[in-house]
Chain A
Amino acid sequence: MRLAIESLSVERGGRLVIAGLTVAAKAGTALVVTGPNGAGKSTLIRTIAGLLPLAAGSIRLEGGDPELTVAEQCHYFGHQDGLKTALTVKENLAFWRDFYGRPALSVIEALEVVGLEHLSELPAAYLSAGQRRRLSFARLLISHRPIWLLDEPTSALDAGSEVRLIDCVNDHLVSGGLVIAATHAPLTFRARESLALGHVVAEASP
Protein backbone atom coordinates (compact mmCIF):
# COMPACT_ATOMS: atom_id res chain seq x y z
CA MET A 1 0.00 0.00 0.00
CA ARG A 2 1.34 3.40 -0.95
CA LEU A 3 -0.11 6.88 -0.57
CA ALA A 4 0.90 8.96 -3.57
CA ILE A 5 0.52 12.71 -3.53
CA GLU A 6 1.33 14.26 -6.90
CA SER A 7 1.87 17.96 -7.67
CA LEU A 8 -0.65 18.88 -4.99
CA SER A 9 -1.70 22.51 -4.62
CA VAL A 10 -4.05 23.77 -1.93
CA GLU A 11 -5.46 27.25 -1.62
CA ARG A 12 -6.77 28.82 1.54
CA GLY A 13 -8.35 32.24 1.54
CA GLY A 14 -6.92 33.08 -1.90
CA ARG A 15 -3.42 32.17 -0.78
CA LEU A 16 -1.56 29.17 -2.18
CA VAL A 17 -0.52 27.32 0.98
CA ILE A 18 0.81 24.20 -0.72
CA ALA A 19 2.14 24.45 -4.26
CA GLY A 20 3.14 21.50 -6.41
CA LEU A 21 3.92 19.08 -3.60
CA THR A 22 4.85 15.58 -4.68
CA VAL A 23 5.50 13.01 -1.98
CA ALA A 24 4.75 9.35 -1.36
CA ALA A 25 4.43 7.31 1.80
CA LYS A 26 4.71 3.52 1.98
CA ALA A 27 2.88 1.17 4.31
CA GLY A 28 4.86 0.57 7.49
CA THR A 29 6.48 4.00 7.54
CA ALA A 30 5.61 7.25 9.22
CA LEU A 31 5.88 10.39 7.17
CA VAL A 32 6.77 13.12 9.64
CA VAL A 33 5.88 16.56 8.34
CA THR A 34 7.83 19.40 9.90
CA GLY A 35 8.10 23.09 9.23
CA PRO A 36 7.48 26.49 10.80
CA ASN A 37 4.03 27.80 11.69
CA GLY A 38 2.03 28.57 8.58
CA ALA A 39 4.06 26.22 6.40
CA GLY A 40 0.93 24.21 5.60
CA LYS A 41 1.31 21.16 7.85
CA SER A 42 -2.28 21.17 9.09
CA THR A 43 -3.49 22.11 5.62
CA LEU A 44 -1.78 19.05 4.14
CA ILE A 45 -3.26 16.77 6.79
CA ARG A 46 -6.76 18.21 6.36
CA THR A 47 -6.50 17.94 2.59
CA ILE A 48 -5.64 14.25 2.77
CA ALA A 49 -8.56 13.84 5.19
CA GLY A 50 -10.83 15.17 2.46
CA LEU A 51 -11.80 18.26 4.45
CA LEU A 52 -10.19 20.78 2.09
CA PRO A 53 -10.59 20.87 -1.70
CA LEU A 54 -7.59 20.33 -3.96
CA ALA A 55 -6.65 23.28 -6.18
CA ALA A 56 -4.57 21.00 -8.40
CA GLY A 57 -2.88 17.58 -8.34
CA SER A 58 -4.06 14.29 -6.93
CA ILE A 59 -4.02 12.12 -3.82
CA ARG A 60 -4.26 8.38 -4.43
CA LEU A 61 -3.97 5.32 -2.25
CA GLU A 62 -2.43 2.51 -4.27
CA GLY A 63 -3.35 -0.89 -2.94
CA GLY A 64 -6.21 0.44 -0.84
CA ASP A 65 -9.89 -0.44 -0.97
CA PRO A 66 -11.09 0.64 -4.45
CA GLU A 67 -14.64 1.06 -3.12
CA LEU A 68 -13.62 3.80 -0.72
CA THR A 69 -12.21 7.30 -1.07
CA VAL A 70 -8.85 8.08 0.48
CA ALA A 71 -10.56 10.07 3.25
CA GLU A 72 -12.73 7.09 4.14
CA GLN A 73 -9.58 5.08 4.81
CA CYS A 74 -8.07 7.74 7.09
CA HIS A 75 -8.30 8.35 10.80
CA TYR A 76 -7.91 12.03 11.62
CA PHE A 77 -6.52 13.00 15.01
CA GLY A 78 -6.51 16.78 14.91
CA HIS A 79 -6.45 19.65 17.37
CA GLN A 80 -10.08 19.16 18.36
CA ASP A 81 -11.23 16.14 20.30
CA GLY A 82 -14.68 15.62 18.79
CA LEU A 83 -15.99 14.56 22.20
CA LYS A 84 -19.42 15.20 23.66
CA THR A 85 -19.19 16.22 27.30
CA ALA A 86 -22.74 15.07 28.04
CA LEU A 87 -22.02 11.50 26.95
CA THR A 88 -20.05 9.06 29.04
CA VAL A 89 -16.53 8.04 28.04
CA LYS A 90 -17.84 4.70 26.85
CA GLU A 91 -20.74 6.20 24.88
CA ASN A 92 -18.40 8.60 23.13
CA LEU A 93 -16.17 5.81 21.94
CA ALA A 94 -18.98 3.36 21.17
CA PHE A 95 -20.60 5.91 18.88
CA TRP A 96 -17.50 6.27 16.70
CA ARG A 97 -17.08 2.52 16.63
CA ASP A 98 -20.63 2.03 15.33
CA PHE A 99 -20.44 5.01 13.00
CA TYR A 100 -17.12 4.12 11.39
CA GLY A 101 -17.68 0.34 11.39
CA ARG A 102 -14.79 -2.06 10.62
CA PRO A 103 -14.28 -2.86 14.31
CA ALA A 104 -10.76 -3.41 15.62
CA LEU A 105 -10.32 -3.27 19.41
CA SER A 106 -13.40 -3.36 21.64
CA VAL A 107 -14.31 -0.16 23.49
CA ILE A 108 -13.02 -1.47 26.81
CA GLU A 109 -9.77 -2.75 25.27
CA ALA A 110 -9.15 0.63 23.65
CA LEU A 111 -9.84 2.41 26.93
CA GLU A 112 -7.34 0.10 28.65
CA VAL A 113 -4.70 1.02 26.08
CA VAL A 114 -5.13 4.74 26.78
CA GLY A 115 -5.54 4.14 30.52
CA LEU A 116 -9.10 5.39 30.92
CA GLU A 117 -11.02 2.17 31.56
CA HIS A 118 -11.67 3.12 35.21
CA LEU A 119 -13.54 6.22 34.01
CA SER A 120 -15.62 4.52 31.33
CA GLU A 121 -18.97 5.31 32.98
CA LEU A 122 -18.19 8.97 33.74
CA PRO A 123 -19.47 11.77 31.51
CA ALA A 124 -16.62 13.14 29.41
CA ALA A 125 -17.19 16.55 31.03
CA TYR A 126 -15.27 15.33 34.07
CA LEU A 127 -12.08 14.56 32.13
CA SER A 128 -9.00 16.76 32.11
CA ALA A 129 -7.54 18.08 28.86
CA GLY A 130 -4.99 15.28 28.66
CA GLN A 131 -7.60 12.61 29.40
CA ARG A 132 -9.83 13.99 26.66
CA ARG A 133 -6.93 13.84 24.26
CA ARG A 134 -6.32 10.20 25.15
CA LEU A 135 -9.99 9.34 24.79
CA SER A 136 -9.99 11.01 21.40
CA PHE A 137 -6.94 8.96 20.40
CA ALA A 138 -8.70 5.75 21.45
CA ARG A 139 -11.03 6.38 18.49
CA LEU A 140 -8.16 5.37 16.18
CA LEU A 141 -7.93 1.99 17.87
CA ILE A 142 -11.56 0.86 17.71
CA SER A 143 -12.15 0.84 13.98
CA HIS A 144 -9.72 -0.31 11.37
CA ARG A 145 -8.51 2.35 8.95
CA PRO A 146 -5.04 1.99 7.33
CA ILE A 147 -3.96 5.65 7.29
CA TRP A 148 -3.55 7.64 10.48
CA LEU A 149 -3.37 11.41 10.07
CA LEU A 150 -1.95 12.94 13.23
CA ASP A 151 -1.80 16.69 13.72
CA GLU A 152 0.41 17.58 16.71
CA PRO A 153 -0.55 14.26 18.33
CA THR A 154 1.38 14.76 21.56
CA SER A 155 0.07 18.20 22.51
CA ALA A 156 -1.45 18.29 26.03
CA LEU A 157 -0.07 14.82 26.81
CA ASP A 158 2.30 14.07 29.69
CA ALA A 159 5.50 12.06 29.15
CA GLY A 160 3.93 8.69 30.04
CA SER A 161 0.97 9.18 27.74
CA GLU A 162 3.27 10.31 24.96
CA VAL A 163 5.25 7.09 25.22
CA ARG A 164 2.05 5.04 25.07
CA LEU A 165 0.81 6.98 22.04
CA ILE A 166 4.09 6.37 20.22
CA ASP A 167 3.83 2.67 21.09
CA CYS A 168 0.36 2.57 19.54
CA VAL A 169 1.58 4.31 16.41
CA ASN A 170 4.50 1.87 16.13
CA ASP A 171 2.13 -1.09 16.54
CA HIS A 172 0.05 0.36 13.75
CA LEU A 173 3.14 0.66 11.53
CA VAL A 174 4.20 -2.92 12.28
CA SER A 175 0.78 -4.20 11.27
CA GLY A 176 1.20 -2.55 7.87
CA GLY A 177 -0.41 0.81 8.57
CA LEU A 178 0.62 4.18 7.28
CA VAL A 179 1.07 7.30 9.38
CA ILE A 180 1.36 10.93 8.43
CA ALA A 181 2.16 13.14 11.38
CA ALA A 182 2.61 16.89 11.55
CA THR A 183 4.69 17.82 14.54
CA HIS A 184 7.18 20.14 16.19
CA ALA A 185 8.28 17.60 18.77
CA PRO A 186 10.81 14.94 17.80
CA LEU A 187 8.78 11.74 17.82
CA THR A 188 10.48 8.35 17.92
CA PHE A 189 8.47 6.39 15.38
CA ARG A 190 10.16 3.17 14.31
CA ALA A 191 10.34 3.79 10.55
CA ARG A 192 10.18 7.43 9.65
CA GLU A 193 10.68 9.60 6.64
CA SER A 194 10.74 13.34 6.86
CA LEU A 195 9.03 15.97 4.81
CA ALA A 196 10.08 19.53 5.60
CA LEU A 197 7.56 22.07 4.42
CA GLY A 198 8.84 25.59 3.95
CA HIS A 199 7.08 28.69 2.86
CA VAL A 200 5.76 28.32 -0.65
CA VAL A 201 7.90 30.09 -3.22
CA ALA A 202 4.93 31.32 -5.19
CA GLU A 203 3.79 33.29 -2.17
CA ALA A 204 7.13 35.04 -1.63
CA SER A 205 7.32 36.56 -5.11
CA PRO A 206 4.72 39.29 -5.62
Chain B
Amino acid sequence: MPLIDLANPTRFLGFVGRLVPWLTAVTIVLFAVGLYGAFFLAPDDYQQGATVKIMFIHVPCAWLSMFVYATMAASSLGTLVWRHPLADVSMKAAAPIGAVFTFVCLATGSLWGKPMWGTWWVWDARLTSVLVLFIMYLGLIALWQTIEDPIRGAKAVAVLTLVGAINLPIIKFSVDWWNTLHQPAAVFRLGGPTIDISMLWPLLVTALAATCLFVTLQLLAMKNEIKRRRLRTLRLIEASRPHAVAGTPVVGAAS
Protein backbone atom coordinates (compact mmCIF):
# COMPACT_ATOMS: atom_id res chain seq x y z
CA MET B 1 0.00 0.00 0.00
CA PRO B 2 1.50 3.37 -0.97
CA LEU B 3 2.16 5.64 1.97
CA ILE B 4 -0.04 8.39 0.58
CA ASP B 5 -3.12 6.19 1.06
CA LEU B 6 -2.51 6.16 4.78
CA ALA B 7 -3.02 9.92 4.90
CA ASN B 8 -6.71 9.18 4.84
CA PRO B 9 -7.69 8.63 8.49
CA THR B 10 -10.35 6.03 7.63
CA ARG B 11 -7.87 3.93 5.63
CA PHE B 12 -5.40 4.42 8.44
CA LEU B 13 -7.88 3.05 10.99
CA GLY B 14 -8.43 -0.03 8.83
CA PHE B 15 -4.69 -0.50 8.46
CA VAL B 16 -4.21 -0.22 12.23
CA GLY B 17 -6.98 -2.74 12.86
CA ARG B 18 -5.26 -5.32 10.64
CA LEU B 19 -1.72 -4.65 11.78
CA VAL B 20 -2.10 -4.42 15.57
CA PRO B 21 -2.85 -8.12 16.31
CA TRP B 22 0.29 -9.17 14.40
CA LEU B 23 2.42 -6.51 16.04
CA THR B 24 1.16 -7.53 19.47
CA ALA B 25 2.09 -11.15 18.78
CA VAL B 26 5.55 -10.18 17.52
CA THR B 27 6.11 -7.98 20.59
CA ILE B 28 5.19 -10.78 22.99
CA VAL B 29 7.39 -13.34 21.22
CA LEU B 30 10.36 -10.97 21.08
CA PHE B 31 10.01 -10.07 24.76
CA ALA B 32 9.73 -13.76 25.70
CA VAL B 33 12.85 -14.69 23.71
CA GLY B 34 14.81 -11.62 24.81
CA LEU B 35 14.02 -11.93 28.51
CA TYR B 36 14.62 -15.69 28.48
CA GLY B 37 18.01 -15.00 26.93
CA ALA B 38 18.68 -12.25 29.42
CA PHE B 39 17.77 -14.17 32.55
CA PHE B 40 18.69 -17.77 31.75
CA LEU B 41 21.34 -17.74 29.01
CA ALA B 42 23.35 -14.56 29.51
CA PRO B 43 26.02 -14.83 32.23
CA ASP B 44 26.19 -12.58 35.27
CA ASP B 45 28.70 -9.78 35.04
CA TYR B 46 31.99 -10.65 36.76
CA GLN B 47 31.89 -7.32 38.65
CA GLN B 48 28.19 -6.52 38.96
CA GLY B 49 26.73 -9.98 39.49
CA ALA B 50 23.00 -10.39 38.83
CA THR B 51 22.45 -6.63 39.04
CA VAL B 52 23.46 -6.41 35.41
CA LYS B 53 20.07 -7.89 34.46
CA ILE B 54 18.57 -4.44 34.97
CA MET B 55 20.42 -3.52 31.79
CA PHE B 56 17.99 -5.55 29.68
CA ILE B 57 15.15 -3.21 30.67
CA HIS B 58 17.14 -0.04 31.22
CA VAL B 59 18.99 0.13 27.93
CA PRO B 60 15.99 -0.59 25.64
CA CYS B 61 13.99 2.05 27.50
CA ALA B 62 16.83 4.53 27.16
CA TRP B 63 17.01 3.92 23.42
CA LEU B 64 13.27 4.15 23.11
CA SER B 65 13.11 7.40 25.07
CA MET B 66 15.23 8.97 22.34
CA PHE B 67 13.65 7.07 19.47
CA VAL B 68 10.16 8.22 20.51
CA TYR B 69 11.33 11.80 20.67
CA ALA B 70 12.90 11.44 17.23
CA THR B 71 9.54 10.10 16.00
CA MET B 72 7.84 13.15 17.48
CA ALA B 73 10.37 15.48 15.87
CA ALA B 74 9.81 13.79 12.49
CA SER B 75 6.05 14.13 12.98
CA SER B 76 6.54 17.81 13.79
CA LEU B 77 8.25 18.26 10.45
CA GLY B 78 5.30 16.45 8.90
CA THR B 79 2.95 18.94 10.55
CA LEU B 80 4.90 22.08 9.73
CA VAL B 81 6.27 21.26 6.28
CA TRP B 82 3.90 18.78 4.66
CA ARG B 83 0.78 19.46 6.74
CA HIS B 84 0.16 15.72 6.81
CA PRO B 85 -3.20 15.10 8.52
CA LEU B 86 -1.83 12.27 10.64
CA ALA B 87 1.43 13.95 11.64
CA ASP B 88 0.07 15.94 14.55
CA VAL B 89 -2.00 12.95 15.64
CA SER B 90 1.24 10.97 15.78
CA MET B 91 2.96 13.80 17.62
CA LYS B 92 0.28 13.95 20.28
CA ALA B 93 0.02 10.18 20.67
CA ALA B 94 3.75 9.65 21.11
CA ALA B 95 4.33 12.09 23.97
CA PRO B 96 2.84 10.05 26.86
CA ILE B 97 4.43 6.85 25.55
CA GLY B 98 7.82 8.53 25.37
CA ALA B 99 7.37 9.95 28.85
CA VAL B 100 6.71 6.46 30.25
CA PHE B 101 9.76 4.94 28.53
CA THR B 102 11.89 7.79 29.85
CA PHE B 103 10.46 7.37 33.34
CA VAL B 104 11.19 3.63 33.31
CA CYS B 105 14.70 4.40 32.06
CA LEU B 106 15.26 6.86 34.93
CA ALA B 107 13.71 4.56 37.53
CA THR B 108 15.65 1.44 36.51
CA GLY B 109 18.80 3.55 36.21
CA SER B 110 18.22 4.74 39.75
CA LEU B 111 17.74 1.16 40.99
CA TRP B 112 20.91 0.14 39.17
CA GLY B 113 22.84 3.14 40.45
CA LYS B 114 22.18 2.43 44.13
CA PRO B 115 24.21 -0.83 44.33
CA MET B 116 26.80 0.28 41.74
CA TRP B 117 27.49 3.91 42.70
CA GLY B 118 26.05 3.91 46.22
CA THR B 119 23.47 6.56 45.44
CA TRP B 120 20.07 6.70 43.75
CA TRP B 121 20.93 9.76 41.77
CA VAL B 122 23.93 11.82 40.70
CA TRP B 123 23.85 15.01 38.70
CA ASP B 124 26.06 13.88 35.87
CA ALA B 125 25.64 14.87 32.26
CA ARG B 126 23.93 11.70 31.02
CA LEU B 127 21.42 11.43 33.85
CA THR B 128 20.67 15.12 33.84
CA SER B 129 20.13 15.31 30.11
CA VAL B 130 17.72 12.35 30.27
CA LEU B 131 15.88 14.06 33.14
CA VAL B 132 15.61 17.16 30.96
CA LEU B 133 14.18 14.95 28.22
CA PHE B 134 11.60 13.63 30.70
CA ILE B 135 10.63 17.17 31.70
CA MET B 136 10.31 18.12 28.03
CA TYR B 137 7.93 15.22 27.48
CA LEU B 138 5.84 16.35 30.44
CA GLY B 139 5.90 19.94 29.19
CA LEU B 140 4.66 18.85 25.77
CA ILE B 141 1.89 16.79 27.37
CA ALA B 142 0.94 19.79 29.51
CA LEU B 143 0.85 21.99 26.40
CA TRP B 144 -1.46 19.52 24.66
CA GLN B 145 -3.63 19.43 27.76
CA THR B 146 -4.25 23.17 27.71
CA ILE B 147 -5.23 23.26 24.04
CA GLU B 148 -8.90 22.83 23.30
CA ASP B 149 -8.68 22.89 19.51
CA PRO B 150 -6.13 20.19 18.59
CA ILE B 151 -5.62 21.32 14.99
CA ARG B 152 -4.82 24.90 15.91
CA GLY B 153 -2.52 23.87 18.77
CA ALA B 154 -0.52 21.35 16.73
CA LYS B 155 1.77 23.96 15.15
CA ALA B 156 2.79 25.44 18.50
CA VAL B 157 3.63 22.01 19.84
CA ALA B 158 5.51 21.11 16.64
CA VAL B 159 7.78 24.15 16.96
CA LEU B 160 8.53 23.35 20.59
CA THR B 161 9.20 19.69 19.78
CA LEU B 162 11.71 20.60 17.07
CA VAL B 163 13.53 23.03 19.34
CA GLY B 164 13.70 20.34 22.03
CA ALA B 165 15.27 17.89 19.59
CA ILE B 166 18.60 19.65 20.28
CA ASN B 167 18.67 17.60 23.48
CA LEU B 168 18.94 14.27 21.62
CA PRO B 169 22.58 14.60 20.47
CA ILE B 170 23.44 16.04 23.87
CA ILE B 171 22.10 12.88 25.54
CA LYS B 172 23.84 10.60 23.06
CA PHE B 173 27.26 12.21 23.31
CA SER B 174 27.10 13.39 26.92
CA VAL B 175 29.14 10.38 28.03
CA ASP B 176 31.87 11.27 25.54
CA TRP B 177 31.87 15.04 25.95
CA TRP B 178 31.92 15.13 29.72
CA ASN B 179 33.72 12.90 32.15
CA THR B 180 30.74 11.16 33.71
CA LEU B 181 29.97 8.41 36.16
CA HIS B 182 27.67 6.81 33.59
CA GLN B 183 29.50 4.30 31.45
CA PRO B 184 30.20 5.17 27.80
CA ALA B 185 28.45 3.59 24.84
CA ALA B 186 29.05 -0.15 24.59
CA VAL B 187 26.93 -1.19 21.63
CA PHE B 188 26.73 1.52 18.99
CA ARG B 189 30.26 2.83 18.80
CA LEU B 190 33.09 3.12 16.30
CA GLY B 191 35.15 -0.04 16.33
CA GLY B 192 32.32 -2.41 17.20
CA PRO B 193 30.56 -3.34 20.42
CA THR B 194 32.59 -3.85 23.60
CA ILE B 195 29.93 -6.08 25.10
CA ASP B 196 30.12 -9.88 24.94
CA ILE B 197 27.93 -11.58 22.35
CA SER B 198 26.13 -13.67 25.01
CA MET B 199 24.85 -10.44 26.55
CA LEU B 200 24.57 -8.53 23.31
CA TRP B 201 22.01 -10.69 21.55
CA PRO B 202 19.37 -10.68 24.34
CA LEU B 203 19.88 -6.94 24.65
CA LEU B 204 19.28 -6.39 20.95
CA VAL B 205 16.21 -8.67 21.04
CA THR B 206 14.67 -6.83 24.01
CA ALA B 207 15.43 -3.52 22.32
CA LEU B 208 13.64 -4.72 19.22
CA ALA B 209 10.75 -5.95 21.40
CA ALA B 210 10.50 -2.54 23.09
CA THR B 211 10.47 -0.88 19.68
CA CYS B 212 7.63 -3.16 18.54
CA LEU B 213 5.82 -2.35 21.78
CA PHE B 214 6.18 1.34 21.04
CA VAL B 215 4.89 0.96 17.47
CA THR B 216 1.88 -1.03 18.73
CA LEU B 217 1.05 1.48 21.44
CA GLN B 218 1.64 4.37 19.07
CA LEU B 219 -0.78 2.99 16.47
CA LEU B 220 -3.42 2.36 19.13
CA ALA B 221 -2.97 5.82 20.64
CA MET B 222 -3.26 7.39 17.18
CA LYS B 223 -6.45 5.44 16.63
CA ASN B 224 -7.84 6.79 19.89
CA GLU B 225 -6.82 10.33 19.04
CA ILE B 226 -8.49 10.15 15.61
CA LYS B 227 -11.67 8.88 17.25
CA ARG B 228 -11.45 11.60 19.90
CA ARG B 229 -11.27 14.23 17.16
CA ARG B 230 -14.20 12.69 15.33
CA LEU B 231 -16.18 12.76 18.56
CA ARG B 232 -15.35 16.43 18.91
CA THR B 233 -16.57 17.15 15.39
CA LEU B 234 -19.75 15.15 15.97
CA ARG B 235 -20.43 17.10 19.14
CA LEU B 236 -19.94 20.41 17.36
CA ILE B 237 -22.39 19.30 14.67
CA GLU B 238 -24.85 18.12 17.31
CA ALA B 239 -24.70 21.43 19.14
CA SER B 240 -25.35 23.48 16.01
CA ARG B 241 -28.12 21.21 14.67
CA PRO B 242 -31.52 22.94 14.82
CA HIS B 243 -33.52 21.30 17.54
CA ALA B 244 -37.25 20.64 17.43
CA VAL B 245 -38.84 22.32 20.42
CA ALA B 246 -41.26 20.16 22.37
CA GLY B 247 -44.81 20.95 21.33
CA THR B 248 -43.79 22.81 18.18
CA PRO B 249 -44.43 20.81 15.02
CA VAL B 250 -41.37 20.56 12.83
CA VAL B 251 -42.16 21.65 9.30
CA GLY B 252 -41.45 18.89 6.81
CA ALA B 253 -40.90 16.23 9.44
CA ALA B 254 -43.75 14.13 8.08
CA SER B 255 -42.74 14.30 4.44
Contact = CB atoms under 8 A, between A and B. Distances in A.
B245 A128 contact: no
Interface in B85-124: none
Contacts of A131: 239
Interface string B214-255: 000000000000000000000110111001011000000000
Interface residues of A, number: 14
A115 B239 contact: no
Nearest to A116: B243
B54 to A, nearest CB: 42
Contacts, number: 25
B69 to A, nearest CB: 30
B5 interface: no
A112 B239 contact: no
Interface string A101-113: 0000000000010
Contact of B243 (A115, A122, A164): A115
Contact of A119 (B148, B238, B245, B246): B238
Contacts of A125: 148
A15 interface: no
Contact of B240 (A115, A128, A164): A128
A37 to B, nearest CB: 32
A94 interface: no
A95 interface: no
Contact of A128 (B235, B238, B239, B246): B239
A91 B240 CA distance: 20
Contacts of B239: 119, 122, 126-128, 131
A14 interface: no
A160 B245 contact: yes
Interface of A: 112, 115-116, 118-119, 122-123, 125-128, 131, 160, 164
Interface of B: 148, 235-236, 238-240, 243, 245-246
